[in-house]
Structure 1
Amino acid sequence: MRNAVCGLVATTALTAPAVAEVDFAGKTIEWVIPFSETGGSAKWANFFAPLLADALPGKPTVVVKFMPGAGSTKGANWFQKQKYDDGTLLFGSSGSTQFPYLLGDPRVRYEYKDWNAVMASGTGGVAYLNADDGAKFDGTANALKDTNFIYGSQGATRLDLVPLLAWQMLGMKVEPVFGIKGRGDGRLMFERGEATIDYQTSSGYLKGGVDLVEQGKAVPMMTWGALDADGNIVRDPTFPDIATFKEVCEATDGCETSGEAWDAWKAFFVAGFPVQKLAFLPAGTPQDVIDTYTAAFEAVVADADFAKISSKRVGKYPVFTGEGAQTALGTATNVPAEAKTYVLNWLKEAYGVELK
């Protein structure tokens, strides 16, 4: 799995296929996001939507719609049943959609292998503290271990398992309040003082978290990091001045960057972040439509201004199209059996969650 991710990062430039004549003139494309309109997935789709509309033949209208519920499984289950074949329906998934699939959540009624991935992109994540607790943070979690934190969470089987497990490994006492519909709602809880610790994916942090830091209301704690060509965790290129969880763990008493807990955390980090957001066409979509979308996303990424504008909106991460997107999907929907077993046992012990 590590080699697959590294190979993807090293080969982001792909050649778009020859495209048959597909024309979307006068049509409206609905891009469904299974989260609320306040989170990182919303910002990701809203960033790409107008670029995609301009790149598709006929320049259709691309409208982003939201279908939150059950940590995104509601929207994914709905998408599984759709049979559009004209390219007017697109679906965006995130790590919080991938993790229930990976863990065998009984609420999952969708199968990624049935869908057609046309674009995938990586992201990062930033954890941050309120001003009072942030004043105690010295690059380690040692002074935070006696504090009782509150965190707004979509659910322990969602992407939130990455921060929840990280905080536990650091010896911190973080009580999740489950049931929010998107990470943006978690940020709103933090802003209102209902939560005292939070994390956002890169797009969400760039949009809202940075403002909180600049206002003195939040203090960055750590990122999850990024992967280098050898599969090592290094600093996130979007936030190079913020230490990684690995660095904070190494500096914190009792936290280990080897062993079962670390291996499980890293496996789910790899599945959830280097390839975190994917755009799909539904089952049954004709190949010429798939090729047209592939060519359009390839044109978006190849634009001379793309790197500059994307770094400010969604972060400095690779974007995969065509066969690269399909390969990325494989990376995002596979974890080693031992990592899955560890996380399932941890979910039961920490939160009483059993997936049957």
Structure 2
Amino acid sequence: MTMKLASRLAAATLAVAGMTAPALAEVDFSGKTIEWVIPFSETGGSAKWANFFAPLLSEQLPGNPTVVVKFMPGAGSTKGANWFQEQEHEDGTLLFGTSGSTQFPYLLNDPRVRYEYKDWIPVMATGTGGVAYINAEDGAKFDGSANNLKDIDFIFGSQGATGLDLVPLLAWQMLGMKVEPVFGIKGRGDGRLMFERGEATIDYQTSSGYLGGAADLVAAGTAVPMMTWGALDENGVIVRDPTFPDMPSFKEVCEATEGCETEGTAWDAWKAFFISGYPSQKIAFLPAGTPQDMVDAYVAAFEAVRTDPGFKELAKNEVGDYPMFVGAGAANAAEQATTVSEEARAHVVDWLKSAYGVTLE
């Protein structure tokens, strides 16, 4: 554990343990507006995530400020993250949300990255899942394996191979599928719109995005769910996603598909980036330099959201059935999301170069 992480964990623990009424009473956001900046478009899963939590946060922060979600898409979310890196604390009214598409370029040493996660202060984190789906015609050939899909030329709307789309792109290649990405979209919601218009024939959404839009395509018969990426149990084993228990996980589909292996270098690399990108996927940060009393106020507010009796059922229906972390838990989640082994990183860097001509070193 780094010294900076240790200090972050200690501060976050104090934020939970030391939430006394007099201390929190000193922070008052009455009449203020909190800007929660999301580095993606307003159509994707991160947008739904922030829009879900924003009014709940407003209810619990001292003074009940207005929490407004703003969007800053571009460069696979690195544009917004680079901007946030330059922001300095002023009055506690700036919050920033990241996703796997922000974490992955950081992990891969993408030259566009000018941000440092360890400088930021995590106050809340949640896990998520993801669902891959295909058009109805090709979906009729899906039998729980990818064996009947290998001769089909699929089109996929992608934000970029170094972001969260890395997980499905690598998974589909491991299954032996021919998926041609069209790079350049600004959010996963834009990928869903390409699919709806028939410009793409395969797509995936994070759980919130799937529940908020793609599930309607399945209900209408224009899309067929293929698999989820799965979830981790307490022993670190990939199991079915609890939000979609009737769908097979990628591990199950891989095991049923000729030539796909759930052990070895490729599997280990995929699993490492899956863990980084999903179980601790979405994280809310305050800027560097935010005073401890304001950090405490945010941690207390998110803790109040998490422990509200009706929260779990509400979250399950809106963003999925996944754990929520605050304080020290959020710091641990941020560390997990921004750490992979050198072996996994090297494998993915080589794959990106050979598959898409993406050179990061």
User: Counterpart amino acid of 1:161?
Assistant: L
Residue 39 of structure 2 corresponds to which residue in structure 1? 34
SS in structure 2 at match of 1:52: helix
User: Counterpart amino acid of 1:197?
Assistant: I
% identity of equivalent residues: 76
Q: RMSD of aligned C-alpha atoms? A: 1.1
Which aligned pairs between 1:313-328 and structure 2 lie closer than 5 A? 313-328=318-333
The TM-score with structure 1 as length reference comes to 0.95
Residue 55 of structure 1 corresponds to which residue in structure 2? 60
Asked if 2 retains the 8 angstrom alpha-carbon contact of 1:34 and 1:92, the reply is yes
Asked if 2 retains the 8 angstrom alpha-carbon contact of 1:187 and 1:198, the reply is yes
Deviation per residue, 1:296-354 (Å, 9 max, x gap): 00000000000010000000000000011011100000001100000000000000000
Which aligned pairs between 1:1-356 and structure 2 lie closer than 5 A? 15=16, 17-19=18-20, 20=23, 21-356=26-361
Measure, in 2, the Cα distance between the counterparts of 1:79 and 1:16.
28
Following superposition, the deviation at residue 271 of structure 1 comes to 0.4
Deviation per residue, 1:90-144 (Å, 9 max, x gap): 0000000000000000100000010000000000000000000000000000000
Asked if 1 retains the 8 angstrom alpha-carbon contact of 2:16 and 2:296, the reply is no
User: Counterpart amino acid of 1:329?
Assistant: A
Following superposition, the deviation at residue 15 of structure 1 comes to 4.7
Asked if 2 retains the 8 angstrom alpha-carbon contact of 1:16 and 1:295, the reply is no
Measure, in 2, the Cα distance between the counterparts of 1:282 and 1:75.
13
User: Counterpart amino acid of 1:303?
Assistant: D
Asked if 1 retains the 8 angstrom alpha-carbon contact of 2:30 and 2:65, the reply is yes
Number of equivalences = 344
Measure, in 1, the Cα distance between the counterparts of 2:152 and 2:250.
19
Measure, in 1, the Cα distance between the counterparts of 2:126 and 2:234.
17
Measure, in 2, the Cα distance between the counterparts of 1:15 and 1:238.
29
User: Counterpart amino acid of 2:151?
Assistant: D
Following superposition, the deviation at residue 145 of structure 1 comes to 0.2
Asked if 2 retains the 8 angstrom alpha-carbon contact of 1:95 and 1:158, the reply is yes
Asked if 2 retains the 8 angstrom alpha-carbon contact of 1:85 and 1:286, the reply is no
Name the CA shift for 1:16/1:299 in 2 (closer, same or farther; >3 Å): farther
Measure, in 2, the Cα distance between the counterparts of 1:223 and 1:86.
41
Asked if 2 retains the 8 angstrom alpha-carbon contact of 1:136 and 1:144, the reply is yes
User: Counterpart amino acid of 1:145?
Assistant: K
Measure, in 2, the Cα distance between the counterparts of 1:132 and 1:305.
40
Measure, in 2, the Cα distance between the counterparts of 1:147 and 1:17.
58
Deviation per residue, 1:157-199 (Å, 9 max, x gap): 0000000000000000000000000000000000000000000
Following superposition, the deviation at residue 268 of structure 1 comes to 0.2
Following superposition, the deviation at residue 17 of structure 1 comes to 3.2
Following superposition, the deviation at residue 16 of structure 1 comes to 5.1
SS in structure 1 at match of 2:325: strand
The TM-score with structure 2 as length reference comes to 0.94
User: Counterpart amino acid of 2:253?
Assistant: V
| Unmatched segments (≥5 aa) in structure 2 | 2-14
Measure, in 2, the Cα distance between the counterparts of 1:189 and 1:135.
20
Residue 10 of structure 1 corresponds to which residue in structure 2? none
Measure, in 1, the Cα distance between the counterparts of 2:17 and 2:65.
20
Deviates more, 1:17-26 or 1:114-123: 17-26
Deviates more, 1:79-88 or 1:230-239: 79-88
| Unmatched segments (≥5 aa) in structure 1 | 2-13
Deviation per residue, 1:31-73 (Å, 9 max, x gap): 0000000000000000000000000010000000000000000
SS in structure 2 at match of 1:144: coil
User: Counterpart amino acid of 1:18?
Assistant: M
Measure, in 2, the Cα distance between the counterparts of 1:84 and 1:231.
37
Following superposition, the deviation at residue 18 of structure 1 comes to 1.6
Following superposition, the deviation at residue 85 of structure 1 comes to 3.3
